[in-house]
């Protein structure tokens, strides 16, 4: 039995690699700077040995291959030991290609926004159609008990990230995936720590498009100029467009987007009635329906499946309600995603004639946001909020307070999470919706808010 050791094993992607390797029969162990749940719990239940820190003692004599996560860099003790002793190593995406994807019908979901949600929808549709797909998703899909599984051939759904593969392979992860069905949700500048500009990202997306076979399918929105520019670089695969009269179209039956008609080539496919809200989720859902159709799932079955879809954790996830004040958690960390999340909440409030307000709480935590790349467009993205609360974290390299006068609604900036919680709870009143947005844990602010609100009510 071959022994794989994974560096950075508690990340969602690398943890998924570990789970799939275990299902394939490998002996798997791994190291991470912090071994933490929920991933640590999932992996330990699979019988995978986890080690905290990157001490060279974590390497034992029977290791056959090291899978290196993209958070690893030169200078890491285990990386240096691995290189000095010529221990075989590879990246997670490369290992996945060689051991799983090369023999599968890969359905890859790419784009700046919506990858995790669309991948979860697509995997669920295939599961609902009794196709038992494999999948690797960068989040926790709540229609399943895990974020990754080998599944049964031929179908494998993967969240196709444009971030780099490893310190020794700076290509985007997704160039290793060789999809037959490719979804490109949208395309904007992001990941300012590794890309200089949008054109850098577009080159990587065109590398991906070059790999889709002529019997495959490329799905993209008709009105995204950045995606269209990539397609004009050359596309040798049939394509279908969303938001286009010759392709896929929707007709919303209410403003919040919880019910809508799906049309394809002018023909009605059915009506989606689900618990999700927002135009962005409609866009994700249509992409999932279209991708599943390419895999042979009738649109009517896909639409029926979406009626039973439970959104991925941390995608406008209700964390609790105290005194009729609702606290939601959302992964939004890019101005476009922030704007779309808040627009969906605003439409729901208007649709249901609610009197509550939207209190937007933001942690600028992503590498791009911390660098200040998006600070000019951030104030406008918060326009649908009635009050704005922003955390000035220690690693943010610009003055968040500069936004106070640029925001349309009242804005409070705090450097201390406890003080931020105090400010929010002082303003919150029954009927309000508090939307907490971050791609990290945000100091467990959701629980702190609920505890403080409950204490105020007592």
Question: How high is the pLDDT of residue 374?
Answer: 74
Q: Is the pLDDT of residue 78 over 70?
A: yes
Domain 100-306, architecture per CATH: 3-Layer(aba) Sandwich (3.40)
pLDDT above 70: residue 163: yes
- Residue 192 pLDDT: 73
Cα–Cα distance between 86 and 57 in angstroms, integer? 16
Return the minimum-mean-pLDDT range out of 173-187, 214-228, 413-427: 413-427
Average pLDDT over residues 100-117: 94
Cα torsion through 379, 119, 202, 290, rounded to 10: -110
> What's the pLDDT tens digit per position in 260-318?
999 999 999 999 999 888 888 999 999 999 999 999 999 999 999 999 998 766 777 88
Sheet holding 148-149, edge to edge: 148-149, 134-136, 155-159, 105-110, 181-184, 217-221, 239-242, 248-252, 259-264, 267-273
Is the pLDDT assigned to residue 254 strictly greater than 70? yes
Classify residue 342 by burial, with Cβ atoms within 10 Å: 0-12, 13-18, 19+: buried
Residue pLDDT, tens place only, 4-17: 999 999 988 999 99
Mean pLDDT to the nearest integer, 241-256: 89
What is residue 313's predicted lDDT score, i.e. its pLDDT?
66
Which range is least confidently modeled, 322-331, 350-359, 426-435?
350-359
pLDDT recorded at residue 368: 67
pLDDT category of residue 216 using cuts at 50, 70 and 90: very high
Residues whose CB is less than 8 angstroms from the CB of residue 296 and which lie 6 or more positions away in sequence, other chains included? none
- Residue 364 CA to residue 243 CA, distance in Å, equals 31
Out of 76-80, 141-145, 293-297, which region has the weakest mean confidence (pLDDT)? 141-145
Topology (CATH) of 317-457: 3.90.190
Least confident of 124-128, 136-140, 257-261: 136-140
Neighbouring C-alpha atoms within 13 Å toward the C-beta of 440: 12
Domain positions in the chain are: 3-91, 100-306, 317-457
Q: Which of 15-24, 82-91, 206-215, 338-347 has the lowest mean pLDDT?
A: 338-347
Among 106-110, 176-180, 205-209, 421-425, which stretch is predicted with the lowest mean pLDDT? 421-425
What's the average model confidence in pLDDT over 409-432? Answer: 90
342-372: pLDDT as tens digits: 988 888 887 676 778 999 999 887 776 767 7
pLDDT for 458 equals 62
**Phi and psi dihedrals of 456, rounded to 5?**
-65, -35
pLDDT of residue 205: 96
Does the structure show a pLDDT above 80 at 416? yes
Q: Residue 338 in contact with residue 332, Cβ under 8 Å?
A: yes
Which pLDDT score is estimated for 317? Answer: 84
Pick from 62-71, 167-176, 195-204, 401-410: least confident:
401-410
Fold of 3-91: Rossmann fold (3.40.50)
Q: Is the pLDDT of residue 18 over 90?
A: yes
Least confidently predicted of 40-54, 93-107, 297-311, 355-369: 355-369
Q: Half-sphere exposure of residue 123, counting CA atoms within 13 Å on the CB side?
A: 35
Output the average pLDDT for the chain: 90
Q: Is the pLDDT of residue 195 over 90?
A: no
């Amino acid at each position: 039995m071959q022994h794989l050791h994974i560096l950075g094993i508690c990340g969602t992607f690398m943890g998924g690699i570990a789970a799939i390797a275990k299902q394939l029969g490998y002996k798997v162990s791994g190291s991470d700077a912090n071994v933490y749940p929920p991933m640590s719990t999932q992996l330990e239940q699979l019988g995978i040995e986890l080690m905290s820190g990157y001490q060279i003692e974590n390497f034992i004599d029977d290791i056959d291959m090291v899978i290196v996560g993209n958070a690893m860099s030169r200078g890491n003790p285990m990386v240096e030991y691995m290189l000095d002793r010529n221990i075989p190593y590879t990246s997670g995406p490369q290992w996945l290609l060689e051991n799983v994807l090369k023999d599968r019908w890969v359905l890859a979901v790419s784009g700046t926004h919506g990858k995790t949600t669309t991948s979860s929808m697509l995997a669920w549709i295939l599961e609902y159609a009794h196709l038992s797909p494999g999948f690797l998703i960068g989040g926790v899909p709540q229609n399943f008990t895990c974020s990754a599984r080998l599944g049964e051939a031929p179908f494998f759904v993967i969240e196709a990230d444009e971030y780099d593969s490893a310190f020794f392979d700076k290509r985007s992860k997704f160039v290793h995936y060789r999809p037959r069905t490719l979804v490109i949700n949208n395309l904007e500048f992001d990941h300012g720590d590794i890309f200089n500009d949008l054109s850098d990202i577009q080159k990587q997306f065109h590398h991906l498009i070059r790999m889709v076979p002529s019997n495959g399918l490329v799905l993209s929105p008709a009105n995204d100029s950045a995606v269209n520019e990539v397609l004009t670089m050359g596309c040798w695969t049939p394509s279908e467009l969303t938001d286009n009269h010759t392709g896929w179209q929707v007709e919303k039956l209410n403003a919040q987007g919880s019910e809508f008609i799906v049309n394809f080539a002018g023909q009605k496919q059915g009506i989606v009635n689900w618990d999700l809200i927002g135009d962005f989720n409609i866009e994700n859902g249509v992409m999932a329906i279209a991708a599943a159709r390419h895999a042979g799932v009738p649109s009517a079955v896909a639409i029926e499946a979406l009626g039973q879809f439970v959104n991925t954790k941390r995608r406008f996830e209700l964390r609790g309600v105290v005194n009729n004040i609702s606290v939601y958690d959302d992964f939004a960390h890019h101005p476009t995603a922030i704007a779309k999340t808040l627009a969906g909440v605003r439409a729901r409030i208007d649709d249901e004639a609610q009197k509550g307000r939207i209190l937007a709480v933001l942690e600028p935590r992503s590498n791009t946001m911390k660098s200040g790349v998006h600070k000019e467009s951030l104030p406008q993205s918060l326009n649908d909020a009635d009050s704005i609360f922003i955390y000035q974290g220690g690693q943010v390299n610009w003055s968040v307070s500069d936004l106070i006068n640029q925001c349309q609604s009242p804005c409070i900036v705090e450097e201390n999470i406890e003080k931020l919680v105090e400010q929010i709870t002082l303003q919150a009143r029954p009927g309000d919706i508090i939307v907490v947005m971050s791609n990290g844990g945000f100091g467990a602010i959701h629980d702190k808010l609920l505890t403080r609100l409950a204490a105020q009510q007592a």
